[in-house]
Structure 1
Amino acid sequence: MLTKADDFPIHQTPEPIAYAGTDRNFYDRYFFNGYAPDGSEFFAAAFGVYPQLNIADAHFSVIRDGVQYCLHASRILNMERMDLTCGPIRIEVLEPLQKLKVVIEPSNGFAAELIFEGRAFPIEEPRFMRRIGPRAFMDYTRLTQNARITGWIEIDGQRRDLQAGTVGSRDRSWGIRPIGAPDPQPPVPMTLGGFFWQWTPLNFVDRSVFFHINADPEGRAWNTRAVIAPDGSGPEAHYETEAAVMGDVNLIAGTRHARGGTLNVPLAQGSASITFEPFLTFLMRGIGYGAPTWRHGGYKGELVVEREDIDLAAVDMASPENVHIQALSRVTLSTPGEAVQTGMGVFEQLIAGPYRPYGLG
């Protein structure tokens, strides 16, 4: 079946774009987040395409005054991968790799129009490849870019223009990861696995800093890197290292969420350190990550749109659906030979199963 994408030079296989190889877990996703400079508002969006499942879904979520408001949408893809609309949620690529727009048409009390403009050329993270025995659990590529954001968000008739200085991050990832209904046949032999993930896209006055780590239950990293990208820089001007370390992490009692931490990034002039002070918790299930009823790639019907309101003060943060979070954090950067900088970013953490460096069995 030919689709709009076939008229663009983006084919990855000898087949039309409608067919993404043969792995049913293939996905292609947009992610966005943003936050006011005073930390008073946080928002995020996700838009996923699942060609083998013939499904698209999208999510938009905003924290206002202690409540996380969520809008979820899912539809049949109809094998048309270039239609970046799912119910009221739409993505527009205004300038590839530089400027994108997220639009929420009025629905269920939501409306928004947000423009994300990159601060530097996107970074390409190392390819994520992880197997459970012979089975590919993950195999994907991701680009990440910090952005300045303009626009407005309306919830239940209360429209707010974004504050000047609103920033955030956006990413694009594609490849293989578990989506849709779980596989009914587990890997053989059964092993006690674990998944450890930290991700910290940070915005400072004149630069972006990125760090991520995937590690096994013993703390051995299988994918990690830190990047420093000065504003306006191209890919050749990014500083990259796989030797950065997140330390001094202690968990909030009864949860798998970090109370804080210190990232150390080795530089030619000595180690730079970044301290994290989390102060607001965004539940990633609000945009489909680990959501009990809105799992990414789950079949809902021809078109389904639902609203969900989460009272963050009443949530059990120890519940499995609330383990995956982005903690909005104030961050302080100390670099040898430079003045101390303060900024803001997220400390995303997901710890599933055992992680012995933190005493989790």
Structure 2
Amino acid sequence: MPITPADDYLIHQTPYPVDRVATSDRNFYDRYFFNGYAPGGDVYFGVAMGQYPNLGVTDAAFSVAFEGRQRVVRASQRLGADRLATAVGPIRVEVVRPLRELLVRVEPNAYGIEAELRFTARAIPVEEPHFFRLAGNVPVMDYTRMTQHGTWSGWLRVDGREWRLEGAPWWGSRDHSWGIRPVGGRDPRGAPPQEPPQFFWNWAPVNFPDLCVLATVSELADGTRWHESGVILRPFPAEEAVEAEVATQLRFRSGTRWLQSAVVTLTPKGGGEPLAIEFEPLTTFLMKGLGYGEPTWGHGIWVGEAAVDGTEYEVAKEQPLQNLHVQQLSRVRAGGQEGLGVFEILAVGPHAPSGFRELLDPAP
């Protein structure tokens, strides 16, 4: 294995150069995710970039939603030896100050989307509890994720129409996750599963003027939780995070598995008043625009040596039951404050607390 610039840092976790990971599992990945939204909630953008060392692929996507449309530019290419090379096609991510400031650029391309966006952290990062899930006796999830709230500055342009991220704050959040999670194409592992597919997942990072909040739960078909994280933070200069228990009340839009409304209550584990957060969805963002579940441009799928592509979705014409994985930009209210945040949901298969009994039955 070649020596690369990353090997000059005191970061090694194995006896090998950094470009070789400790596991041979094909599904090992390392990924950035970002989102951001206009103060009025009328513009939303998302960014994803991943490396898949055991597949030899790296990919990225940038997608912006406004006026009922969702525009996408995406790129994929062969992963080189240098793990610090975080540029795929026209999309680039630069760590300016670790855990404080990152830069996202989208260079001019044939799909009309350009950007230069600077993420500045509002609060300390949150390390969520480790994710681990088995399918039978085979680990299918074994990864760590860090989530952080922030403010965006810079500019964003679609077909010459420009938004300057200034004045009232453009808030957002980011995560960085790494480990084993299903990526790429189908991964046959011998005997077929005995149970039908089931996955119920919520992730809700929220920004208020004086508060940052994260709530996330993953549940089995009967509602039993196999993962949960609730955190209440104050913006800098505060350096503490209050861990909380999470309770959710979800109402689904009829005929879909998308939210109509939600109340998420965080109760501090050390004692204190519960914080009840009301969610009013404003915009639905299709996560397939960032490669999540997209059949051709899914994460880690080989598309070509240097492939760049773009598309547009008219969200009102998309079938909700064919787009189960969404982020819903929401107006949020809690404790006399009003803010913005996202409620991400992926609900596949039965989930008794929500009234779902089959693979894809919708809310009544």
2:299 paired residue number: 296
2:262 paired residue number: 261
Query: In 2, are the aligned partners of 1:36 and 1:163 still within 8 Å (CA)?
Result: no
Match of 2:137 among 134, 139, 147: 134
1:124-273 counterparts in 2 under 5 A? 124-164=127-167, 165-187=169-191, 190-233=194-237, 235=239, 237-241=240-244, 243-247=245-249, 249-267=250-268, 268-273=271-276
Aligned length: 351
CA-CA distance at 1:234 after TM superposition: 5.6
1:279 paired residue number: 282
Indicate the RMSD between aligned Cα atoms, in angstroms.
Answer: 1.3
1:342 paired residue number: 338
Question: Equivalents in 1 of 2:162, 2:338: separation in Å?
Answer: 29
2:6 paired residue number: 5
Match of 1:30 among 32, 39, 55: 32
Question: Equivalents in 2 of 1:234, 1:77: separation in Å?
Answer: 39
2:360 paired residue number: none
Query: In 2, are the aligned partners of 1:34 and 1:149 still within 8 Å (CA)?
Result: yes
Question: Equivalents in 2 of 1:186, 1:152: separation in Å?
Answer: 49
2:107 paired residue number: 105
Question: Equivalents in 2 of 1:233, 1:163: separation in Å?
Answer: 22
Query: In 2, are the aligned partners of 1:30 and 1:173 still within 8 Å (CA)?
Result: yes
Query: In 2, are the aligned partners of 1:37 and 1:163 still within 8 Å (CA)?
Result: no
Query: In 1, are the aligned partners of 2:147 and 2:173 still within 8 Å (CA)?
Result: yes
Which TM-score applies when normalising by structure 1?
0.95
Query: In 1, are the aligned partners of 2:45 and 2:63 still within 8 Å (CA)?
Result: yes
Query: In 2, are the aligned partners of 1:121 and 1:233 still within 8 Å (CA)?
Result: no
Identify if the C-alpha distance between structure 1 residues 150 and 157 changes in structure 2 by more than 3 Å, giving closer, same or farther: same
Query: In 2, are the aligned partners of 1:133 and 1:188 still within 8 Å (CA)?
Result: no
SS at match of 1:200: strand
- Percent identity, aligned pairs only, is 43
Query: In 2, are the aligned partners of 1:264 and 1:272 still within 8 Å (CA)?
Result: yes
Bigger drift between 270-279 and 226-235 goes to 226-235
CA-CA distance at 1:89 after TM superposition: 0.2
The superposition leaves residues 58-108 of structure 1 with CA deviations (integer Å, 9 ceiling, x where unpaired) of: 000001221100011000012321100000000010000110000000012
Query: In 2, are the aligned partners of 1:31 and 1:171 still within 8 Å (CA)?
Result: yes
Query: In 1, are the aligned partners of 2:296 and 2:303 still within 8 Å (CA)?
Result: no
Identify if the C-alpha distance between structure 1 residues 82 and 309 changes in structure 2 by more than 3 Å, giving closer, same or farther: same
1:41 paired residue number: 43
Moved over 3 A (4+): 185-189
Query: In 1, are the aligned partners of 2:135 and 2:193 still within 8 Å (CA)?
Result: no
CA-CA distance at 1:184 after TM superposition: 2.5
Structure 2: give runs of 5+ residues left out of the alignment: 358-364
Question: Equivalents in 2 of 1:355, 1:125: separation in Å?
Answer: 23
